[in-house]
Amino acid sequence: MSKTILLFPGQGAQYVGMGQTLASTFEPAKKIMMQADEILGFSLSKLMAEGPEDVLKSTDNTQPALFTVSAMVMELLKSEGFAFDYVAGHSLGEYSAIYAAGGFSFEEGLRLVRTRGELMASAGSKNPGAMAAIMGQDEAKILGGVRRRRRREQARGKLRCRRYQGHPARRLRRLPQPADAVRPGRPRRSDCQDEV
């Protein structure tokens, strides 16, 4: 028996023009886009359609934009009678998964992700940093490199916690009832202490 899963993206999937074809073609998607503009008090739809890219890529704008497009897709699928067995999301996409499971309304979710984005943008400007994705490497090799780097940085007193998250597919959850929404996955033991 096959199962259907909806997987929602996290930050990084945004681009100028996102959601425009959906909004111009499908009424349920257009309705969500108009709601987002009204709830946020500015034209998110214009920012998504025209940019500029650097403003759209700002965390406080990216997160509501991605959540809105995910909700547009979800509402379109529902209007077409599409059924699913599971929902999941990567990082920000977890909020879209909760919305898809009926855990909160579009307005509640949009306000949450806008606040989340504002807080993350503020924290990022106070404590600048960077992130990288390592693809196509053996897990043992990656962990060995992280451990070597950790020892070097500990010796210099520079280390802040770095976590190896493992495979993202481990966060899938069964949704027997909408009220159960998405329960967080069990955290993995990290490769470092919370703060060194």
Q: Which domains does the chain carry?
A: 5-129 (3.40.366.10)
Position 150 pLDDT exceeds 90: no
Q: pLDDT by residue (tens digit) across 22-57? A: 999 999 999 999 999 999 999 999 999 999 999 999
Given pLDDT bands bounded at 50, 70 and 90, which one contains residue 151? confident
Could you tell me which residues come within 8 angstroms of residue 37 by beta carbon, excluding any fewer than 6 positions away? 43, 44, 45
User: 27-31, 77-81, 173-177 — which is least confidently predicted?
Assistant: 173-177
The pLDDT assigned to 124 comes to 87
135-157 burial by CB neighbour count: b if 16+ within 10 A, else e?
Answer: eeeeeeeeeeebeeebeeeeeee
Burial of 63 (0-12, 13-18, 19+ CB in 10 A): buried
51: tokens are: 């940019």
Average pLDDT of every residue of the chain = 81
Contacts of 11 by beta carbon, 8 Å cutoff, 6+ apart:
59, 62, 63, 66, 91, 92
How many angstroms separate the Cα of 87 from the Cα of each of 9, 54, 102?
A: 11, 30, 11
Instruction: With a cut of 90, say whether residue 175 has pLDDT above it.
Output: no
CA distance 51 to 66: 14
Which pTM value belongs to this model? 0.70
pLDDT for 157 equals 67
CA distance 111 to 139: 37
Going by pLDDT thresholds of 50, 70 and 90, the confidence category of residue 144 is confident
Q: Give the DSSP letter of residue 1.
A: -
Identify the weakest region by mean pLDDT among 12-21, 59-68, 107-116, 138-147: 138-147
In 60-135, DSSP assigns E strands to: 86-89
